[in-house]
Amino acid sequence: MAEITAQLVKELRDRTGVGMMECKSALKEANGDVSEAELILRKRGIASAGKRASRATRQGRIGTYVHPGSQLGVMVEVNCESDFVARTSEFAELVHDLAMHIAAADPQFIRKEDVTPEAVQKEREIQRARALAEGKPEKVVDRMVEGRMAKFYEEICLYEQLFVKDSSLTVGQLIATKIAKTGENMTVSRFVRFKVGDSTAAQTAPEE
Q: Where are the beta strands (DSSP E) in the chain?
A: 59-66, 72-80, 162-163, 166-170, 187-195
Q: Check whether 207 has a pLDDT greater than 70.
A: no
Residue 111's H or E segment, with its range, is none
The SS3 assignment for 66 reads strand
User: Would you say 166 and 98 are in contact if contact means Cβ atoms under 8 Å apart?
Assistant: no
Neighbouring residues of 137: CB distance < 8 A, sequence distance ≥ 6: none
Q: Where does the pLDDT of residue 152 fall: very low under 50, low under 70, confident under 90, or very high at 90 and above?
A: very high
pLDDT in tens, 114-150: 999 999 999 999 988 988 888 888 778 888 888 889 8
Q: What is the pLDDT of residue 142?
A: 82
DSSP 146: H
Q: Check whether 42 has a pLDDT greater than 90.
A: no
Q: Spell out a b/e string for 70-108, using b for 16 or more CB atoms within 10 Å of the CB, else e.
A: eebbbbbbbbbbeeebbeeeebeebbbbbbbbbbebbbb
129: Cα separation from own chain's centroid: 31
Q: Check whether 204 has a pLDDT greater than 80.
A: no
Helix (H) and strand (E) counts for the chain? 8, 5
Q: What is the mean pLDDT of the chain?
A: 86
Average pLDDT on 104-115 reads 94
Residue 16 to residue 178: CA distance in whole angstroms: 10
Q: What is the pLDDT of residue 91?
A: 96
Higher-confidence residue of 133 and 205: namely 133
Q: Check whether 179 has a pLDDT greater than 50.
A: yes
Q: What is the pLDDT of residue 13?
A: 79
User: Would you say 74 and 194 are in contact if contact means Cβ atoms under 8 Å apart?
Assistant: yes
C-alpha closest to that of 28 among 54, 2, 7: 2
- Phi then psi for residue 22, to 5 deg, are -65, -40
Q: Check whether 183 has a pLDDT greater than 70.
A: yes
Residue spans of the domains in the chain: they are 6-51, 56-111+157-195, 116-155
Q: Does domain 116-155 have CATH number 1.10.286?
A: yes
C-alpha closest to that of 177 among 113, 101, 93, 110: 93
Q: pTM (2 decimals)? A: 0.71
Task: Specify the CATH class of 56-111+157-195 in words.
Answer: alpha beta
Higher-confidence residue of 106 and 208: namely 106
Q: What is the pLDDT of residue 83?
A: 93
Q: What is the pLDDT of residue 51?
A: 59
- Pairing state between β 187-195 and 166-170: unpaired
The Cβ of residue 60 has, within 10 Å, a number of other Cβ atoms equal to: 21
Q: What whole-number percentage of the chain has pLDDT above 70?
A: 88
Q: Where does the pLDDT of residue 1 fall: very low under 50, low under 70, confident under 90, or very high at 90 and above?
A: low
C-alpha dist (Å) from residue 168 to 22, 102, 125, 162, 173: 21, 17, 31, 7, 9
Q: Does domain 6-51 have CATH number 1.10.8.10?
A: yes
Q: What is the pLDDT of residue 203?
A: 45
